Structure formats: C-alpha cells, structure tokens
Structure 1
C-alpha cells in the first residue's frame, strides 16, 4: 500500500472517529434535553396543582372562616368565643401552611406576642411578656415556626379554658443555645397527679410538637400558683 493510501485511510479513520464522537455528544444532548423537557412539564404540572390547592384553601378560608368569626360575635361567654377564635386560628394555619415563609425566632416570637395579647384582651385577661434582651435570632423553618405557634396557642387555650386565668406570663430566654419558653397562668393550678401525667387537654399534641423541635415540654406548679408549661428546644 502506498504512502498516499495510508494517509487517506488514516484520515478517513480520524474523520470516522470524530463523527462518532460528535454523534455520541448529540445523542447525549438529546437525552438531556428530553429529560429537561420532562422535568419542565412535571414542574408546570406541580405548579398548577399547587395553585389550584391554594385557590381551594383560600375559598375555604373566606367562606368557613367568615362564618366562624360571625359565630364569635354571637357567643356571650368569653371562653366560648375564645374557643372559636382558636379554631379560626388553627384553620388559618392549615390554609397558610402552603404559603408560609420561614422567619427568624424573634419575628416568630413577635407574632406570638401580638396574637396572645389580642386573645387575652378579648377574654378579659392580660399578658405579661418577659423576653431576655440577649435572645438570639436564628432562622426557623416553616415547620419549626408552626410547632412553636401551636404549642404557645394550646398553652394559652388551656390556661383560659381550664385554668380560668386572668393573667398569663410568657417568658423567653436562651441557655447555652437552648431556647426556654415558659407559659404560666394565675389559675388554681393542676393536682400533683395531673402534673405528673399531663394527659389530655391537648398535651399529647404539644409533646409531639416539642419532639418535632428536638426538644421537651413539661408541666409544673407556678411560682406563685397556677400552672407553668415549660418548652425547651435547641437553636441552630
């Protein structure tokens, strides 16, 4: 075989190799584009489903929420009205959970304080809010915010409904990157057996939420009477 034939053969082999590599790249790109297209379609479907869910929840909120608020104004006993307000707030939690943004600890505490003050004022009670000035302000995710809100709300509900509280103290402080949040009422307090077992009255749900925060919750006698709920969970 002449040198010219060898050169032509080598050139053809090189061209064939380059074409094969080019074809492989094109095939890989086609697979990638098909995957991206499928992902985009799936993403659009998820967005559409989420939007429809938000629309349905908003409709439920506007309809059922309005009727519950009308019921609040029709009730004469403050504890009954507060119970309905608690149901309304729980319902709003369910609706807003889809769109709820994470926030910082201090923002969440500020919202808890504002909501509790409004509830106690409507029930003829008052709030004593005590927050350490050096309370840290880490970011909380949506689930943490929800658990903290629901524990605080249930503690207030129990104090009003079962403790006939006229004053509730909420105290916030941090000890070695652990948040200590306690709620104390001025009611008659719980019996020793009730404090030990702490069953019923929504306490099972409160324990579950405390565990979800990787923390703990306990019930104890208040310093000057009443019942104290103590929530502790780590801050990151």
Structure 2
C-alpha cells in the first residue's frame, strides 16, 4: 500500500512539473518569446503518459489529452505568426538601412563630383557672369543637401571633402597646401548638421587666409579621436590684425556655437596665423 501511495505521489509531482513547464511555454508565447517546439512536444508527451497512468476512467483521459492537444496546436499555430512579425521587423530595418546608404551615396556624389567641378569652375571662370552662375548653383546644392534629413557622413569623407575644397581654393589663390589626417575610427558617422557646419566654418577660415594673410603656404590638419574632431588650419603669412578679421571671426563663432564646438585663433605679426577648431562627440548627438 505504501508503495502505491509513493508511486501516486511521484506521479502527481511529475504532472505538476510537466503542467508548470507547459504553462511557462504558454506564458512565453503570449509575451512574444520564441518557443522551442521540441520542448513543447516533450512536455505534451510526458503529460499524456502521466495522465494515462493517473486518471481512472477512459473518458477523463480523453478529455485531458484532448485539452492539452488543443493548447499545443494553438501554440504551434501562433509560433509562425511570431516568426513572421520578427521577420517583418528585420526586413523593415534592412529597407531603412538601404535607404540610408542610398542617401549617403547621393550626398557623397553631390560633394565629390558635382561640388568639385563647380568649385573648379568658380575659380577658373573666364568672366564674372559664369563665376556668379556657378556660385549660385553651388549654393543651391549645399542648401538642398543641408536640408536633407537623416544623411550620414563619415569622418573620413568629411576630411577628404575639406582637403579637396581647401586645396583647390588655396592653390587657385597661389597658396600651397599641406594636408595631414589622423583617425582612430575613420568609419564613424555624423549627422548631416555637423559636417555641413564644420565645412562652412573651415570655408570661412580659408577665406580669411586668402584675403588677409598674404601667405605662400598653409597647412590643414584633420585629427579624429574617440573624444572628437580637431581641425587645425595654419599659414605662414603676415598675421591678421583684429581690425581685419573681427567681423569674420564673429560670424564663424556663431557657427561654432551652434554645434557646441570651440575655436581658437593665434596670430603673431609676420609669423602667421593658426586656427584650431575642436568638436566633442557628446556635444550634439552622433552615431558610432
């Protein structure tokens, strides 16, 4: 008699354990978690065997087994829907990523191809009318690109664009340019606002070099670390008096402030001028 009671007690405990596992599977299913069909089938098989041993009448056995079978079928039917939802989310992310890459490609082409050709035309135009038209087109392209949202630009792409434009402008003015770039993560990407603003700042600094420095040589250094970007533009000119560049730097400082960056200008008479622009990655949201 004791053996029978012990056997029945063990059977009851096994049923409780198997039912608990089945309930856990059901709960995970409704939470959207992916189910293990193998585990589900094993739980069902255990419950069937235990029910056949424990339950006294055939009708009750059929009822319990049928109920459990319905639950298993519901979970199996529900599982593909969960997989489909997960696949749909992944497909949506892939589509958005493809769109982002296409926008970045268009952005790069506008700057590298069309932008470079327009700059060349601006500084080699035979007359003012042609130069003015090229400048107007260049301005419209920059505005169109600047207003496009969610475009990403890598730091290496930004450095290459700054180098190409600065070299063309300075050499057109008879100033030789040396360029140096240092990267810790050249693939790091920045939102469109940052590279666009940095490009405008450097463009204004180059204007100052061309207009006021009387330099024969300039140097552009682009340095990228895990903390941020540092850009140095220095020349071997006569130095710049405050009366010559006060208004220009005021405009530059407004742009610098808009991205929470810093700029430093050091100039000595007949020893040249050095501009240092520092932008920290945590200043405005950036993507890593």
Of 143-152 and 90-99, more deviation after overlay is shown by 90-99
Residue ranges of structure 1 left out of the alignment (5+ in a row): none
> What is the DSSP-based 3-state SS (H/G/I as helix, E as strand, rest coil) of the residue aligned with 1:189?
coil
Matched with 2:186 is 139
Matched with 1:158 is 208
With the length of structure 2 as denominator, give the TM-score of the two structures.
Answer: 0.50
Matched, 1:22 2:73: yes
Residue ranges of structure 2 left out of the alignment (5+ in a row): 1-53, 282-287
In structure 2, C-alpha distance between the alignment counterparts of 1:180 and 1:64, rounded to whole Å = 24
* Residue in structure 2 matching 1:204, options 254, 259, 281: 254
Once the 2 structures are TM-superposed, how far is the Cα of residue 70 of structure 1 from its aligned partner?
A: 5.1
| Alpha-carbon distance change, 56 to 161 in structure 1, aligned in 2, over 3 angstroms | same
Is the Cα contact below 8 Å between 2:120 and 2:168 reproduced in 1?
A: no
With the length of structure 1 as denominator, give the TM-score of the two structures.
Answer: 0.58
Once the 2 structures are TM-superposed, how far is the Cα of residue 23 of structure 1 from its aligned partner?
A: 0.7
Q: Which has the higher contact order (CA 8 A, sep 6+)?
A: 1
State the Cα RMSD in Å. Answer: 5.5
Q: How does 1:57-76 map onto structure 2 within 5 Å? A: 72-74=123-125
| Alpha-carbon distance change, 199 to 49 in structure 1, aligned in 2, over 3 angstroms | closer
Matched, 1:229 2:275: yes
In structure 1, C-alpha distance between the alignment counterparts of 2:268 and 2:61, rounded to whole Å = 93
In structure 2, C-alpha distance between the alignment counterparts of 1:141 and 1:120, rounded to whole Å = 28
* Residue in structure 2 matching 1:102, options 154, 157, 160: 154
Of 191-200 and 177-186, more deviation after overlay is shown by 191-200
In structure 2, C-alpha distance between the alignment counterparts of 1:198 and 1:118, rounded to whole Å = 22
> What is the DSSP-based 3-state SS (H/G/I as helix, E as strand, rest coil) of the residue aligned with 2:206?
helix
In structure 2, C-alpha distance between the alignment counterparts of 1:154 and 1:233, rounded to whole Å = 17
Is the Cα contact below 8 Å between 2:175 and 2:216 reproduced in 1?
A: yes
In structure 2, C-alpha distance between the alignment counterparts of 1:24 and 1:58, rounded to whole Å = 51
| Alpha-carbon distance change, 138 to 220 in structure 1, aligned in 2, over 3 angstroms | same
In structure 2, C-alpha distance between the alignment counterparts of 1:12 and 1:130, rounded to whole Å = 80
Matched with 2:12 is none
